Chains A and B, each alone.
Chain A
């Protein structure tokens, strides 16, 4: 359905649950999901709030196309203030949970306050209640999912929950839904844990409704599914190889951050690549990749379902990990592999399972381990701190041990849970943290892909590739090929990607649809479903408004233009090989123009004219 026009508000402090109408004036300005939930959030929460205090709020939000027949329309987002970055947090996930929320009749669920004891929220259409979860606290995501399904005797319940990592205070803990899809970044799971909420379990039977023009919607979604099917990327490349096909691409390009971003090519890249996932292994002849998998309503199906070699050291005595589960995506594979120097595909797959099982963001986890490995190799920390683990680059054994500890919040895993920035500061080496605004980098070195440097520096949630994926253009030639080593034109490119992405993230669709679709394809689907006039221009304008709103929140939270920067390693130490050899990221050549185009002062603050133009709240 398009907007259900209903919000579920859950006051955890006093246990009161209420329904309220959706603000349709805001829906016309911010669409849904990321944008609309952020509008609610900035209205209701002081930007200076302590992210882990009861005064922070936590919103789960769908978009108007979530749960509809539009391809990829299965997304929802978690919006809150991040304990990792102190910025707005908005983490997007697929699977089936978002569509179930819509089918239960809700656009959003807003959690406020803090429950005195552990609870989970159970929603069955209009009925919602908080149920004690003392027995679930201390359990993993997978165990919690199983227990709740058993308790309600309903296999069709969709569940999003936190694992032991979030409970232990890990600052990059995720919310995991459907066992292995995650709202992964910025510590949104940590916020849910701080409110004593273990899980949200949903059952929706209300079906589709509120479509503005059903015939037009059926026609346009059908036509656009054909576009996805006919496109070589969304119709063939992504289903077959998944995002992991990028491992060799980015390595060849000399932009694969390696060993805590000291280097830009990894000699073991092929061993942990999408191609390697298709190769039969010696022990049993099976491939790492069992099959691909799709989220609700998706006709791309890029997800990976994998297994670990049963004879591998990590699982040989653990039959519970011998089955199939969520496999490696590119960003996770990079953080767990090249960034730590580990080239053992089975070790990476097992650690990826652990990240899903206990709700860890694998990007932040891998990057933080990489920083810890550099601290270890520099002699700043020793086996005394690590509890005996020889935390050396390239050690699969060390990666596996530290993942097990971090998932449970034990031993040195507790320190890994601080994230890279706080860990490196604690040991007096802040320059070794590869973060922006406290969030760890994803898998593209900005010395070799300059636009990504500007993307990271200006991202409203800290270093992130999903805020403007200029790799599409700079590397893959989508929609047009640009030179990855050039800085000219990159401010314009980054802004175009940021705004379009904000609109897509607010619609309920998946950003991966944009490898084939542009707003020219997406706007007609929104327009057929939603009240109002949803032209391409309006969608782009809504995207820009969302970007400005998020920036405004961050500025009021205390960030400044000085936070729009990169680690010195990327600004001062040149790439050592490849096409970018001798180059650093020339952020200074891009940032002033970016500020100007955004309508910000030279210090990065929104001008009154910009605030007025986008109608931002005062």
Chain B
């Protein structure tokens, strides 16, 4: 199935070559967990600090759940960041 992967701050370098605006449409198996997705793109787990699926935060303990995603979902990931 196809989802949108968005990697921000310095994680943006880990997106497929040619990606623009920090996002890429990617093909993933339906059974994928978020941690499998994170590992597949070589994102160090501690750097996957803020993980949002369609804008909703997914905590550490739920990131190993298989079948976590639906087609057309948007997964957005940030390292530890802050502002204000």
Contact = CB atoms under 8 A, between A and B. Distances in A.
A44 B75 CA distance: 55
Interface string A464-500: 0110010110011110010110000000000000000
A515 interface: yes
B25 to A, nearest CB: 15
Most chain B Cβ neighbours within 10 Å, of A238, A329, A476:
A476
A459 B56 CA distance: 27
Contacts of B79: 232, 236-237
A232 B65 CA distance: 27
User: Which of B10, B49, B79, B81 has the largest number of chain A CB atoms within 10 A?
Assistant: B81
Contact of B54 (A236, A243, A478, A579): A579
A252 B55 contact: yes
Contacts, number: 94
Interface string B70-84: 000010101111111
A237 B11 CA distance: 11
Most buried by A among B46, B79, B82: B82
B82 A472 contact: yes
B82 A515 contact: yes
23 contacts: A232-B80, A233-B81, A237-B80, A237-B81, A243-B82, A243-B83, A245-B9, A245-B82, A248-B6, A248-B22, A248-B76, A249-B8, A252-B6, A253-B52, A270-B22, A275-B9, A275-B22, A465-B84, A472-B82, A476-B82, A483-B57, A512-B84, A578-B54
A579 B9 contact: no
Contacts of A252: 6, 52, 55, 74, 76
B12 A275 contact: yes
B8 A275 contact: yes
A274 interface: yes
Contacts of A243: 82-84
A243 B84 CA distance: 6
A241 B22 CA distance: 14
A615 B8 CA distance: 48
Contact of A241 (B6, B9, B46, B56): B9
Interface in A270-306: 270, 274-275
A578 B81 contact: no
A329 to B, nearest CB: 8
B77 to A, nearest CB: 10
Given A238-B82, A252-B76, A476-B82, 7 more contacts: A232-B46, A238-B83, A241-B9, A245-B82, A252-B52, A476-B50, A578-B54
Interface string A295-339: 000000000000000000000000000000000011100000000
A398 to B, nearest CB: 25
Given A240-B10, A477-B50, A481-B59, A511 B84 contact: yes
Interface in B6-62: 6, 8-10, 12, 21-22, 46-47, 49-50, 52, 54-57, 59
A242 B57 CA distance: 22
A244 interface: yes
The number of chain B residues touching the other chain, given as a range, is 20 to 34
B22 A274 contact: no
Contacts of A477: 49-50
Contacts of B76: 248, 252
B54 to A, nearest CB: 7
Contacts of A232: 46-47, 49, 79-80
Contacts of B84: 243, 246, 330-331, 465-466, 469, 471-472, 511-512
A254 interface: yes
A453 to B, nearest CB: 17
Contacts of A515: 82
Contact of A330 (B52, B54, B83): B83
B80 to A, nearest CB: 4
Given A243-B84, A274-B9, A579-B54, A249 B59 contact: no
A578 B50 CA distance: 17
A37 B6 CA distance: 46
Contacts of A578: 54-55
A608 to B, nearest CB: 36
A123 B63 CA distance: 59
The 8 closest A-B pairs by CB, nearest first: A243-B83, A232-B80, A246-B83, A237-B81, A515-B82, A579-B55, A245-B81, A330-B83
B6 to A, nearest CB: 7
Given A232-B79, A237-B81, A330-B83, A579 B56 contact: yes
